Amino acid sequence: MTITPLNPVAKQDGSTKKQVKKQTATAELDVKPAEQPDERLSAEERLSYARTVDRYLVHRESLGEVFLTDLQPIDRDSYAAAAQLPRSHAYYGDHLLRPNTYDPVLLLEACRQATLAGAHLFFEVPADHKFILTHLSVSLTQPRWITVGQSPFPLAMRVTVVDRKEREGRVTGVDSAIELSMDGTVLGRATVGLRFKTPTSYLSLRLNNRDGVALPSSAAHPPRLLGTPVAPHLVGRANPDNVVLVDAHTDGDTARARLRIPADHPSMFDHAQDHLPGMVLAEAARQLALLTVLDARGVSAVKAFPTALEVIFSSFGELEEDTTLTAELGDRSAPGPEEQLCYTQGGVLDLAELHDDGHPPAGGADLLPVRIDVQQGEKQLCVFTVTMKRIQAAPPAPGR
How many C-beta atoms lie closer than 10 Å to residue 356's C-beta?
10
- The pLDDT score that the predictor gives to residue 331 is 79
Q: Looking at residue 360, what is its pLDDT?
A: 43
Assign 190 a pLDDT band (cuts: 50, 70, 90).
very high
Q: Is the model more confident about 174 or about 344?
A: 174
DSSP 8-state assignment for residue 373: E
Poorest-pLDDT segment among 52-61, 165-174, 359-368? 359-368
For 146, list phi and psi in degrees, rounded to 5: -110, 30
Q: What angle do CA 311, 321, 325 make, to 5 degrees?
A: 40
Mean pLDDT of 344-360: 41
Helix, strand, coil shares of the chain as percentages rounded to 5? 20, 30, 45
- Per-residue pLDDT band for 394 (boundaries 50, 70, 90) equals very low
Question: How far is it, in rounded angstroms, from Cα 268 to Cα 281?
Answer: 10
User: Cα dist. 291→44, 240, 305, 313, 382 in Å?
Assistant: 38, 15, 12, 22, 19
Choose the weakest-confidence range: 47-51, 116-120, 148-152: 148-152
CA dihedral 66, 282, 157, 114 (to 10 degrees): -50
Model pLDDT for residues 7-47, shown as the tens digit of each residue: 322 333 333 343 334 343 334 434 333 355 566 788 888 99
pLDDT at 49 over 90: yes
The residue-averaged pLDDT of 358-375 equals 71
DSSP H/E element including 9: helix 8-12
Q: What is the residue type of 389?
A: K
Q: Range with the lowest mean pLDDT among 2-16, 43-57, 283-297, 325-339?
A: 2-16
- pLDDT value at position 30? 41
**pLDDT at residue number 3:** 38
Q: Is 90's pLDDT higher than 60?
A: yes
The predicted structure's pLDDT at residue 267? 95
Confidence of residue 347 (pLDDT cuts 50, 70, 90): very low
Would you tell me how many other CB atoms lie within 10 Å of the CB of residue 324?
A: 16
Residue 37 has a pLDDT of 57
pLDDT tens track for 203-256: 999 999 999 999 999 999 887 678 999 999 999 999 999 999 999 999 999 999
For residues 91-106, give the mean pLDDT: 92
What mean pLDDT comes out for the span 341-360? Answer: 39
* Average pLDDT over every residue of 138-142: 92
Work out the mean pLDDT of the chain and round it to a whole number.
83
Tell me, what's the pLDDT at 332? 63
For the chain, what percent of residues have pLDDT higher than 90?
A: 71
Nearest 5 degrees, angle CA 41-CA 44-CA 49?
Answer: 110
Q: Rounded to 5 degrees, what angle do the CA atoms 276, 82, 196 make?
A: 40
- Given a cut of 50, whether residue 174 has pLDDT beyond it is yes
Radius of gyration of the chain, Cα coordinates, nearest whole angstrom: 21
For residues 334-345, average pLDDT? 34
The amino acid at 271: H
Total residue count of the chain as it appears in this document: 400
pLDDT at 299: 92
Where do the domains of the chain lie, and which CATH numbers do they carry? 1-212 (3.10.129.10), 216-400 (3.10.129.10)
| Counts for the chain of helices (H) and strands (E), in that order | 5, 15
Range of weakest confidence among 12-26, 294-308, 314-328: 12-26
Q: How far apart are CA 29 and CA 11, in angstroms?
A: 17
Q: Return the minimum-mean-pLDDT range out of 26-40, 166-180, 363-377.
A: 26-40
Order the strands of the 153-167 sheet from edge to edge. Answer: 68-75, 78-85, 153-167, 170-182, 185-197, 130-140, 304-313, 379-390, 367-376, 324-329, 254-259, 245-251
* pLDDT for 288 beyond 90: yes
Kindly state the average pLDDT of the residues 287-297: 96
Per-residue model confidence (pLDDT) at position 392: 64
Specify the pLDDT at position 396.
40
Task: Answer yes or no: is pLDDT of 154 > 80.
Answer: yes
Q: How far is CA 353 from CA 89, 176, 397, in A?
A: 27, 25, 20
**Pairing label, strands 170-182, 153-167:** antiparallel
Whether the CB-CB separation of 374 and 385 falls below 8 Å is answered with no
- Beta bridge partners, 368, equal 388
Give the integer Cα–Cα distance in Å for 396 and 381: 44
pLDDT of 159 above 60:
yes
